[in-house]
A = this chain, B = another copy of it.
């Protein structure tokens, strides 16, 4: 079962990669500056590569072990009641996902370490040129990530359709194909987590360490060539903000599309593509988003030194979003039939293709609003940042209180937008709507990433300019780009967390379907306990991440202090610091410290799922999602606001009528806030969205294996409403029909009683249904309204797992069998 349109998806990805190659060649061709600049850039590139190699080495063990476990898991077939649709091929899929994710990070880092020095050189000429080089560098990464994702997902899907001989959408073979494809996403997202956390620890350990000794103790400027940690700091921008983010967004992008595909597979669509259209739609939209991202890059340019770089980026971003939105209208109309329904009616009602389009619009609106809100909370000159500046006037402590308070406050509007987005997209197209809204948001990932990656390139370019002691105007131009980069980084995070929340809900829905539960009822005590435990995980994850930065930064501080002490002549530019020692400290620390948080994310769903079953795991996922989104927004925005509060002092700020500048007491307080904010905004904050998605994907992958497990169900409650009703019916009225009397009557007598009491036909039918085919009252033996459930009707099949029905010894074997048919 294939269709020509299937080949369109990887084709669009190939177009993206071709454009990427052209842009990449253009960047490489640019002038890389004088020998000194090239030497410094060489250190950075070498350090970055060293980190990637060390990281890959550790991760390759993980990939091999996890791959073997997955291959083994693929050999299970499950029971007749809970068949497992998987295959050992899932391990291949997993490895490909992991490798592509790592490769996406590599592409970005490779181009970034070339673009940085070329941007510095370009900045010697004009702002316009510098923007062009740095933004093209970012674009290469964006296109690389999106291109690889689209090609990977699209072509694997084609391969799996054929490999598993899929004949229809709602077939077991399709379930296998999708489960195996989930392995791709698992691979991508696992690597993303380690890359983001490891890179985040690296960059902030170096940054905090370099600042604490260099700026605060030695009094030398940021990026000063005399600071032994300065190369590590610049390497950090590449491994954290570029490679880490590349792997992160690759994982998010894949997870979002996959979640929509999983739900799409459950949709009954009478279309021209063998019912494949709901599965295809997210991939096609992603492909188009990639193309429109390329179009959007054409708008990113400035002419004069005074033109606004932010406006240029916004123009590019909004135009690619708008074009994708418009295009998706036509795509939705071309692909989808007018109406669709779910194969399993419990999933929801019929919905229309117009509803799907509306949901995409909701997704784009949510993303846009999240960006705007995030910008408000982190931008200079706005109320939140101004309040932190004012509170810096009374010292370090009030600055911290101010930032924490702003961060917490900044969760309100995003959560309301998100809640509205969930309700809205759900209203328009049910669970598929929620999922496609996320896919719509993520469609322009290439553009989003180009804008994001341009920031660290500009930051690095500034660093090289400073280290090479280039003229003031060069640093001025790179600072201009860097400042814009800070804002785009913040808005990018708002965007990412919103998409993660929507994606998680979609994954959540997919998980529920595959694990065979119909609800996640937090009124059940074990599920509520799961919710608590899930809510706690982002806290311990954040704790580990920021503590790791604190520890690694202390090591860095001690090493820098040692070099200043033991290597004479550094401060007089007579001796060169041992940069590589600092690089090694960051590398080692980040690799070591990324393991514990990563393990929590990967292992906790497995433990909870296998011990307590899918419903408790569902509760845990909900807890992780809610708490993770809140902690992500809180930490990212607090960090961004502190950063810009500190930056505001460079131009001078007025507190209680007095002007304060750099080196003043309030400025020192603001530096404290910025330092606290560093791990918040670049290590733990942005990891939250990977954490929640990764845990959802792990749960999705193990879902078939835990289907049917249950733990500590509230007896009777989980039993389906029918049983409860039946218990009452022997002593209570059914309509006007007194059922308590029927137990001692024949069917005929009961019918007569019903008639005499004026029961209507439904009520009478209900009474009659108490008798079996032979006219025997099948409830007899249960006098009065006992608490023992009665298993005598087919609808008692609906009693859910492990309930009292099955334990009731008074129920005879065949009845028990029927009653407990779906029980395990």
Q: Residues on A close to B: CB < 8 A?
A: 208, 212, 216, 341, 345-350, 387, 390-391, 393-398, 400-402, 404-409, 411-412, 415-416, 418-420, 422-423, 426-427, 430-431, 434, 501, 505, 508-509, 512, 518-523, 525-526, 528-533, 535-536, 539-540, 542-544, 546-547, 549-550, 553-554, 557, 618-619, 622-623, 626-627, 629-630, 634, 671-673, 675-676, 679, 712, 714-717, 720-722, 724-727, 729, 734-735, 751, 754, 760-769, 772-774, 778, 787, 792-795, 797-798, 800, 804, 814-815, 817-819
**How long is the Cα–Cα vector from A802 to B478 in the complex, in angstroms?**
60
Give 5 pairs: A residue, B residue, CB < 8 Å, sorted on A. Answer: A401-B546, A419-B532, A423-B529, A423-B712, A763-B818
User: Across the interface, do B397 and A675 meet the contact criterion of CB distance under 8 Å?
Assistant: yes
Q: In the assembled complex, how far is the CB of residue A46 from the closest CB belonging to chain B, in whole angstroms?
A: 28
Q: Which one, B523, B765, B787, contacts A618 given CB within 8 A?
A: B523
Given known contacts A532-B422, A769-B769, A391 and B716 CB-to-CB distance under 8 angstroms: no
User: Across the interface, do B795 and A412 meet the contact criterion of CB distance under 8 Å?
Assistant: no
User: Across the interface, do B772 and A409 meet the contact criterion of CB distance under 8 Å?
Assistant: no
Q: Which of A418, A761, A767, A817 has the most CB atoms of chain B within a 10 A radius of its CB?
A: A761
Residues of B within 8 A of A430 (CB): 714
**How long is the Cα–Cα vector from A412 to B546 in the complex, in angstroms?**
16
Q: In the assembled complex, how far is the CB of residue A205 from the closest CB belonging to chain B, in whole angstroms?
A: 11
Q: In the assembled complex, how far is the CB of residue A422 from the closest CB belonging to chain B, in whole angstroms?
A: 5
Given known contacts A409-B543, A792-B765, A350 and B721 CB-to-CB distance under 8 angstroms: no
For the complex of A and B, 9 pairs with smallest distance between CB atoms: A766-B794, A397-B675, A408-B543, A426-B525, A721-B798, A419-B529, A349-B715, A405-B547, A765-B772
**How long is the Cα–Cα vector from A734 to B792 in the complex, in angstroms?**
14
User: Across the interface, do A712 and B426 meet the contact criterion of CB distance under 8 Å?
Assistant: yes
User: Across the interface, do B672 and A400 meet the contact criterion of CB distance under 8 Å?
Assistant: yes
Other A-B contacts than A521-B522, A766-B795, A795-B795, 19 sampled, CB-CB below 8 A, are A348-B716, A387-B547, A397-B671, A405-B543, A406-B543, A408-B540, A409-B547, A416-B536, A423-B529, A426-B712, A519-B717, A520-B521, A521-B521, A626-B626, A722-B795, A762-B814, A762-B819, A763-B794, A766-B793
**How long is the Cα–Cα vector from A754 to B729 in the complex, in angstroms?**
27
Q: In the assembled complex, how far is the CB of residue A96 from the closest CB belonging to chain B, in whole angstroms?
A: 31
**How long is the Cα–Cα vector from A404 to B548 in the complex, in angstroms?**
12
Q: In the assembled complex, how far is the CB of residue A701 from the closest CB belonging to chain B, in whole angstroms?
A: 19
Given known contacts A348-B715, A536-B415, A676-B397, A404 and B795 CB-to-CB distance under 8 angstroms: no
Residues of B within 8 A of A533 (CB): 415-416, 419
Closest-by-CB residue of B relative to A737 is: B794
**How long is the Cα–Cα vector from A800 to B725 in the complex, in angstroms?**
13
Residues of B within 8 A of A505 (CB): 525, 528
Copies per assembly: 2
Q: Which one, B627, B798, B818, contacts A735 given CB within 8 A?
A: B818
Given known contacts A794-B769, A795-B766, A345 and B727 CB-to-CB distance under 8 angstroms: yes
**How long is the Cα–Cα vector from A440 to B438 in the complex, in angstroms?**
47
**How long is the Cα–Cα vector from A547 to B403 in the complex, in angstroms?**
9
Q: Which one, B398, B729, B773, contacts A550 given CB within 8 A?
A: B398
Q: Which one, B508, B519, B726, contacts A521 given CB within 8 A?
A: B519
**How long is the Cα–Cα vector from A618 to B520 in the complex, in angstroms?**
13
Q: In the assembled complex, how far is the CB of residue A112 from the closest CB belonging to chain B, in whole angstroms?
A: 27
Residues of B within 8 A of A508 (CB): 523
Residues of B within 8 A of A412 (CB): 536, 539-540
Closest-by-CB residue of B relative to A535 is: B626
Closest-by-CB residue of B relative to A390 is: B554
Residues of B within 8 A of A416 (CB): 533, 536
**How long is the Cα–Cα vector from A714 to B557 in the complex, in angstroms?**
56
Q: Which one, B391, B422, B544, B774, contacts A525 given CB within 8 A?
A: B422
Closest-by-CB residue of B relative to A511 is: B523
**How long is the Cα–Cα vector from A403 to B244 in the complex, in angstroms?**
27
Q: Which one, B629, B734, B794, contacts A532 given CB within 8 A?
A: B629
Given known contacts A520-B522, A720-B721, A532 and B415 CB-to-CB distance under 8 angstroms: yes
Q: In the assembled complex, how far is the CB of residue A808 from the closest CB belonging to chain B, in whole angstroms?
A: 12
**How long is the Cα–Cα vector from A519 to B760 in the complex, in angstroms?**
31
